[in-house]
Structure 1
Amino acid sequence: MSSTAEKYLRPEVIRQVARLDLRAKFIVEGFLTGLHSSPFQGFSVEFSEHRKYTPGDDIKDMDWKVYAKTGRYYTKKFRAETNMTGYLVMDLSKSMGYTYRQELTKFEYGICLAAALAYLMIHQQDPVGLVTFDEKIQTVLPPKSKRSQLGTMLSVLANLHPTGPTDIANGLFQLAGLIRGKCLLMVFSDLLTDPEGVLMNLYRLRHAGHEIILFHILDEAEVKFPFTGLNDFEDPETGAVVKDIDARGIRDDYLQSLGEFQEMWKRECGLANVDYVPMDTSVGFDKALLEYLIQRTRRFS
């Protein structure tokens, strides 16, 4: 296992790389290096164009080279079977711009994840597109699998910034009316909103046949609450400030509320058959890339 390559899975290392295209490249290369020598090597991209032979498959599609290497029967899948069309869906909420000690804000962390996933999907020849929203959809980049798509996506991602108020429910509602065919939707948000409308539209998207991975991104400080003494706390959406709060006195209540908040999303997403992935800005990027490959493998196994 190459520790040199895999170090780029750590946010504290990748934040030292200025260019987004290099961040994406290093993250994916580090991920694939670890994948090949881990218990998850079965998700390796080399076998993404194959499936296990089942009675009734045409024998002319058998891959005898794979049989010679593994002693197992695999058939080659047609391109139409192996393409998974994906959309990266970015929340432009002002609250996504928050950071405490990390040099990567929640938004920058999400952009790195999105860029790496775009890189990996293009590497797998999967069409991938991009949607951004605040109170309504702002950017739509239709899915393509050409190499040039990666450069276009990275250019757009690199120039995105958190804006102001957001309406996640409306963004997902508009998205449902926008996309055609069954897609994998990868949503990046801190979910600091009323969950009812969001969940209703997640159900709507699932009813239309789309697979969804919801990456719930929080800052490390929002998850661990490292504050002590008297602090001023600002509402990340409205800007309202509450002064001179005893951080130690509210820490236990805050962490309990956060745990209940995340558990609620986990429970409700489970009921909607949506993959819920809680992350914070200290978590390695490989967790998100593995979720994508698991979802891909589920679909074509």
Structure 2
Amino acid sequence: MPTQRPQRNTKAGLELLDPNVLSRIGGLEFVARSVVDGFLGGMHKAPTFGSTTDFAEHRGYMPGDDPRRVDWRLFGRSDRLHVKEYEADSNASVAVLLDVSRSMDYSGARERIRKIDYARILAASILWLARQQRDRVGLVTFDAKIRDYVAPSGKHLPMALHVLEQTKPSGEGELGAPLKAAAEHFRRRGILIVISDLYHEPSAAIDAVLQLRNRGSELLLLHVLDPAEREFPAGDLTGLQDLETGETLPVVARAMRDEYRAMVAEHVAELERLATTRGVTYALCETTAPPGDALARVLAARERLGPVR
């Protein structure tokens, strides 16, 4: 009797790196783990985000502890010996700031993943990878104002994933005001990753992101676009709809295609130029690219720029 081959688990393997497949599975924790496992499978070592020696907590003195770690000021107040615990050198605070404005609710084709869903997968994968490194992870969602805030913590990954799953795009896009408000939450140096479609003038967008550089925080800017937003597959299209306001503008699509593509290419190039010259890691992430590939490009761009010190 011939032996029966075991059925292949369709929820494992490289096919999960297809963003359209990932978006239909559900459960961001599983999706993030799959993306990160696939990404790390091709790496010789796990990439790291950053380092810190920030104070974590006190604990009671134990025989054999280094006396240099005793908090003598606390001893003077309490008459009890405590030592200072610090985060491990490989730990950092890593937070994702996700644009959930109305324009993120876009897909250039019926079968293609929306920008917000792709951004969710990318955000969850980054937070999952950071937490695997024992980093503290946090999340901000925003449109014209902050919608959700999850403070960076070693225990907040499930909360951040829940917020990512529940958030829905709405409201007009804005960077300056919400990122200025978010900067007040990140007083400790860390790594802050902004994910947005950047429907803003390049210099204004980069200025808005730079507001987050409290105490030398390292900044990463992930620019999420649907290929249709770059290619303008016009066909017989006679009108364009503003994704933020809903207003439709009449156009002669075929005549505009070359001009539109040139404008978008210039916009992307200027964003990258300004970001790079001002010490911000920039990466363009198209929604048809496997999230693992996007993650690799982000970390490669960061390595080229070098972390801010």
TM over 0.5, shorter chain: yes
- Give the whole-Å Cα distance in 1 for the aligned partners of 2:254 and 2:21: 31
SS at match of 1:215: strand
Q: Distance in 2 between matches of 1:111 and 1:202?
A: 19
- Pairs within 5 Å for 1:109-128: 109-128=118-137
Whole-angstrom CA distance in 1 between matches of 2:142 and 2:118: 17
2:244 aligned with 1:233 = no
User: Which one-letter code corresponds to 2:37 in the other structure?
Assistant: E
User: In structure 2, which of residues 129, 138, 155 is the aligned counterpart of residue 129 of structure 1?
Assistant: 138
Q: Which residue of 1 aligns with 2:56?
A: none
TM-score (norm 1): 0.79
Per-residue CA deviations over 1:216-243 (Å, capped at 9, x if unaligned) read: 1111211222221233210001111023
1:203 corresponds to:
210
- Tell which deviates more after alignment, 226-235 or 210-219: 226-235
Distance across 2 between alignment mates of 1:293 and 1:235: 32
* Secondary structure of residue in 2 paired with 1:117: helix
C-alpha distance in 2 between matches for 1:152 and 1:210? 23
Distance 2:190 2:21 in 1: 32
Which residue is 2:158 aligned to? 151
Aligned length: 261
Report the secondary structure of 1:14's partner residue: helix
How far apart are the structure 1 equivalents of 2:265 and 2:307? Answer: 31
1:58-97, aligned counterparts within 5 Å? 79-97=87-105
- The structural deviation recorded for 1:121 is 1.1
2: CA distance, partners of 1:112 / 1:265? 23
**Structure-2 separation of matches of 1:42 and 1:23:** 21
Moved more, 90-99 or 246-255: 246-255
Q: Which TM-score applies when normalising by structure 2?
A: 0.77
Aligned residue in 2 for 1:268: 274
The one-character-per-residue Cα deviations of 1:109-157 (angstroms, maximum 9, x if unpaired) are 10010111111111111101001111111211011123xx222111111
Distance 2:167 2:276 in 1: 31
Structure 1 residue ranges, 4+ long, deviating more than 4 angstroms after superposition: 42-45, 291-300
Matches within 5 A, 1:4-15: 5-15=13-23
**Is the 8 Å Cα contact of residues 9 and 30 (structure 1) preserved in structure 2?**
yes
Deviation at 1:15, TM superposition (A): 2.4
Mapped partners of 1:280, 1:270: distance in 2: 19
**What secondary structure, in the 3-state scheme, does the structure 1 residue paired with 2:121 have?**
helix
Task: Give 3-state SS (helix, strand or coil) of 1:178's partner.
Answer: coil
| Aligned equivalents of 1:14, 1:165: Cα separation in 2 | 27
- Counterparts of 1:275 and 1:293, CA distance in 2: 9
Structure 1 residue 44: deviation in Å?
5.2
Distance, in Å, in 1 between the alignment partners of 2:183 and 2:227 is 31
Structure 1 counterpart of 2:228, one-letter code? A
Report the 3-state secondary structure (helix = DSSP H, G, I; strand = E; otherwise coil) of the residue aligned with 2:42: helix
Question: Is the CA contact 1:172–1:201 (under 8 Å) kept in the aligned structure 2?
Answer: yes
The equivalent residue for 1:105 is 114
RMSD: 2.6
Q: What secondary structure sits across from 2:168 in the alignment?
A: coil
Listed as ranges, the gaps of 5+ residues in structure 1 are 36-40, 50-77
